[in-house]
Structure formats: structure tokens, C-alpha cells
Amino acid sequence: MKSLLESAHTHLARTAVVSEGQPYTYQQLLARSANIAGMLLDGRADLAEARVAFLVPPGFDYVSILWGIWRAGGIAVPLCVSHPLPAIQYVVDDTQAEMIIYASEFAELLAPLRASTAARFLPSANFVVTSNTLPVIDLVHRRALILYTSGTTGQPKGVVTTHQQLEAQITSLTTSWAWHQDDHILNVLPLHHVHGLVNVLLCALWSGACCTFLPRFDPAAVFAIFRQGEVNVFMAVPTIYFKLIAYWNEQPPAAQAAISQALKDFRLMVSGSAALPVSVLEKWRQVSGHTLLERYGMTEMGMAISNPYHGPRRPGCIGLPLNQVQVRLVDEDGQLVAAGMPGEIQVLGPNVFREYWQKPAATAAAFTADGWFKTGDIAVFEGGSYRILGRNSVDIIKSGGYKISALEIEEVLRTHPQIKECAVVGIPDEEWGEIIGASLVLAGETLDLEQLKSWLQTQLPPYKVPRKYLVQEDLPRNAMGKVTKQELKQLLAAD
């Protein structure tokens, strides 16, 4: 945080953020975040790691609140703007949030929470000018952020990073990818995940660069901004590149040429959060003239492995460890694999998270005895580059760049009165990476699928709602009675 502030002080007059077409300078960001910090402190000397959850759309307010929480000594807990109440309540309860800051459009959604939580509710529009001496924060130890991620256990876990770990995640990228104060990035990603928050927003602010927000991804709006010729850096998940290509394909030749011309002048275009299909990389090369820089990361560690900024980028590969990050591949016995053999990616470095929030057993289980973080991703090292082969769990699904736990969805499905049993899997899909499929065994005679989907939307974020359904007499099982998810994947894919 200190360095983010120091950097901001050296760029006072430059534009930090553009939201809703309105530019805001670093000076404005410093002033507003100090104000918010003062209000959050409300006479206290230091929030001392109090959790402050905030439900605010991407934009200047979001950034000011994030910085305000940090400057007051709190832990920032960004809430997802597309989550239904149960998902929001889970995060608020799990973090024992002391305050919830919300934009006015979420007042109604949050209303039922007021009865069940002791948290203070602060409308973001009502921040008043206050003055307070802001605390001096110990950046090495102070927790800064909790982001929720799905795992192989049912409910999402809060990933805690300190200011120092965030700084390592940021500087590893700003140095490896040559970030510069003249850069201008368009942010179309959600801000409750590392990709949109750290790689895009915080790297830009650290560099004195400019981040323009587009609150919702929309291909026409993205290309319209690109054609203005100011944005020169872009980062997105493969699904977004797929959708941009599809939109470009539908345009008349003159519009295609104008878009492609604008894209040629970009400094950097990155893809990550899920495997980039080689077909998408190649089509984007035709559209933009750029070979996408594919990199690999995880909420628990920020980015770890990346294709080079300078030098050839290998399609289908993720490259080499980033600055400050060490990587090794190990087998099931924890031994280093022989050259060319597959193994689990394990990571060591200042970028790796501190803990799962109040889950010491899960935290301990995520690390080896010698302190390496176990990612659960399987890769090989070949031809001078790492290549991801898959994950060590069939219960983790990646769809649209979101990490989704099959078990979490199954738990929700099982609470539905008309469902006796269920199993959820990811089905390979070029656009989404995977789409979620569910096999259902009914408790009664029939089930209205549309009603089920509507009900699921009240329980789960939109991206966790299954898209494909199969009603079965019984789930496929092996001799031990365990559901054979690989078989189910094939059944759903063929269906």
C-alpha cells in the first residue's frame, strides 16, 4: 500500500481511472480514499484488520473504497456484483465483516441481511468529508485482502493476502511485462478475483498508468473503445477472446479492418485464468496481428508462470516462472518428476498467500512440509516451457475463467425437494472452456427444468448454474459405489 500511495504521489495530475467516461486523477483518488479511510475509522486509530466488505460496481468509487479500507488498516473483502444473497451472506458471515459498504442499487438485495448480521451498513453515496490521522501500516504482516475461491471442499474458502504478498504479485508482473506510466488498460473483468483486481487494476495503478472500466463485458463496447486509439494493453479470459472474435466475424469488412487496425498498435494482450485453445490464439492473431501472451496463475498466488514478453510465445504452453517465483513439478509421492514427465505444479515465492481465512487445517494441507504451495494443476516441462495437462481433481470446473466446485453445486441441488441424488461435472467447450452439466435422480415423477434453473439462480451466482441436465434412473457408479464422473462427463457431452 505504501508503494501504491508513493507511486500515486508521483503521478498526481495523471489520470488513474476512467469510469462512466469520466476521468479521475491520482490526486482525486488519494483525496477520496483518505476521506473514506477517515470515515471508516470514525475516531479509531486503526481498523486493525477489521474486515470491510463492499458491494460496489467497478469504477472510481470501487477503487477509492478499496484504498480507503487499506489506508484505515482494514482487510478489503470485495463482494461480487452478480451474486445472489446467499452467496453474499456466506462471505459476510465467513469473514465476520464489521462493515458492509454498498452502492445504492444493492440496497434492496442486502436488506434481508440487516436482521442477521451485526455488520454496520454504509451506503457508498453517503460518504462525507472527514479528517482523521491515518494509521501507519506494517505492510509485511498486515492482511490486506480476502478473495473467495472454490476448492475441492464444498464451500468457497477465503484466500488471505498481506500487503507484502500483493506487492510481490504486482511487481512480478509490472517488471516481467514492462508496465509503464503511459500504459492504458481496459478492464472488463469482475473485481472480486485476482485477474481483474491485481493483474489489471493494481498493476496499472502501481505503474502510474490509466485503467478504464467497462462495468459489463460487451464486445461492441470493447471494440468501440479500442477504436478510439487510447487503450494499449488488454487482459482477459479465453472466453472473452472467443466472444470478441465471434463479434468481429459478424462485422462488415470495413468495420473489421478498422478494428484490426486499432488492435495493431497495442503494446500487450494477455490471456489467462483458463487454458487458451490454440484455435482461439490463432484466430486472434488473424484479427489483431498479436500472439496472445498466455500466463498461468491462481487466487492463492497471483501469477506464477508466463510466456515471455520479449521472445517467442508458444501456443498451448504457459512459459516459464515469473520474476521472484520458483516452480517445481512433483509426483504423487512428493518427489521431483523425471525430465519430460507430468507432475503437480508446486510454487514458492513472496507472491504466495498467507492462509485460508480461519481454516488452519485447509491452509496446512495446501502446503508441503518444506513450504511449497500445492496448486493441484498437472503440467509437463518440455521444449523449454511448461504445459498444463489438467487438474488432479475432476470436481474443479473452469467455466468462462471462473473456478467452480462441482461439490458446492451438488450441495445446493440436493436441498431441492424434487432431487434425490445428483452429480455435477464440467463438459469441454471451446467457448466457455467447460460448461457445467448436472445429472439428476428425481425424488418424484417429474421436474420442471426451467423452474429448477430459476430457483438455482436465487441460490448460486449465474456462472455456477448448470447449463446441461440429464435425468437418470441412477447415477453411473463403480464397483465401490462411487459415482464415475468421467463416464458422466462423456454421457453429458454426447447428450
What residues make contact with ligand AMP under the rule CB under 6 A?
A: 149, 194, 272-275, 294, 296-299, 318, 375, 377, 388, 391, 398, 403
Residues with Cβ within 8 Å of 37's Cβ and at least 6 positions away in sequence, in order, are 67, 68, 69, 70, 71, 72, 132, 134
Q: Which of 74, 400, 426, 437 binds ligand MCA (CB under 6 A)?
A: 400
| Minimal distance, residue 225 CB to ligand AMP, in Å | 25
Would you say 8 and 98 are in contact if contact means Cβ atoms under 8 Å apart?
no
Nine cell digits for residue 314: 508458444
Q: Does 346 bind ligand MCA (CB under 6 A)?
A: no
What are phi and psi for residue 432, nearest 5 degrees?
Answer: -100, -5
Q: How far is the C-alpha of 475 from the C-alpha of 485, rounded, in Å? A: 9
| Minimal distance, residue 372 CB to ligand MCA, in Å | 18
Q: How many residues does the chain have?
A: 495
Q: Residue 237's binding partner, choosing from ligand MCA, ligand AMP, none, with beta-carbon cut-off 5 to 8 A by kind?
A: ligand MCA
Neighbours of 311 (CB within 10 A): 8
> Which of 47, 194 has the CB closer to ligand AMP?
194
Phi-psi region of 337 (alpha: psi -120 to 50; beta: other; left: phi over 0): beta
| Minimal distance, residue 191 CB to ligand MCA, in Å | 9
| Minimal distance, residue 435 CB to ligand MCA, in Å | 5
Q: Residue 185's binding partner, choosing from ligand MCA, ligand AMP, none, with beta-carbon cut-off 5 to 8 A by kind?
A: none
> Which of 235, 287 has the CB closer to ligand AMP?
235
Listing DSSP states for 228-294 in one string gives TT---EEEE-HHHHHHHHHHHHHS-HHHHHHHHHHHHT-SEEEE-SS---HHHHHHHHHHHS---EE
Q: Residue 294's binding partner, choosing from ligand MCA, ligand AMP, none, with beta-carbon cut-off 5 to 8 A by kind?
A: ligand AMP
> Which of 227, 328 has the CB closer to ligand AMP?
328
Neighbours of 480 (CB within 10 A): 6
Quickly list H helices, 320-440: 360-365, 406-414
Map the footprint of ligand MCA across residues 234-253, applying CB under 6 A.
237, 239-240
Phi-psi region of 107 (alpha: psi -120 to 50; beta: other; left: phi over 0): alpha
> Which of 91, 435 has the CB closer to ligand MCA?
435
Q: How far is the C-alpha of 79 from the C-alpha of 60, rounded, in Å? A: 16
User: Pairing between strand 75-78 and 51-55?
Assistant: parallel
Nine cell digits for residue 259: 478494428
| Minimal distance, residue 331 CB to ligand AMP, in Å | 18
Q: Residue 388's binding partner, choosing from ligand MCA, ligand AMP, none, with beta-carbon cut-off 5 to 8 A by kind?
A: ligand AMP
Q: How far is the C-alpha of 168 from the C-alpha of 184, rounded, in Å? A: 22
Site string for ligand MCA, 185-224 (x = CB under 6 A): ----xx--xxxx--------------------x-------
Q: How far is the C-alpha of 367 from the C-alpha of 190, rounded, in Å? A: 28
Residues with Cβ within 8 Å of 472's Cβ and at least 6 positions away in sequence, in order, are 439, 440, 441
> Which of 124, 273 has the CB closer to ligand MCA?
273
| Minimal distance, residue 190 CB to ligand AMP, in Å | 11
| Minimal distance, residue 151 CB to ligand AMP, in Å | 8
Name the segment binding ligand MCA (CB under 6 A); options: 84-92, 245-253, 295-303, 320-328. Answer: 295-303
Q: Residue 318's binding partner, choosing from ligand MCA, ligand AMP, none, with beta-carbon cut-off 5 to 8 A by kind?
A: ligand AMP
Q: Does 298 bind ligand MCA (CB under 6 A)?
A: yes
Residue whose C-alpha is closest to residue 370's, from 346, 386, 354: 346
| Minimal distance, residue 172 CB to ligand AMP, in Å | 15
Map the footprint of ligand MCA across residues 452-481, applying CB under 6 A.
462-463, 467
Q: Which of 150, 271, 273, 306 binds ligand MCA (CB under 6 A)?
A: 273
Nine cell digits for residue 328: 517445481
> Which of 239, 385 has the CB closer to ligand MCA?
239
> Which of 47, 404 has the CB closer to ligand MCA?
404
Which residues lie near ligand MCA (CB under 6 A)?
A: 189-190, 193-196, 217, 237, 239-240, 272-273, 297-299, 399-403, 432, 435, 462-463, 467
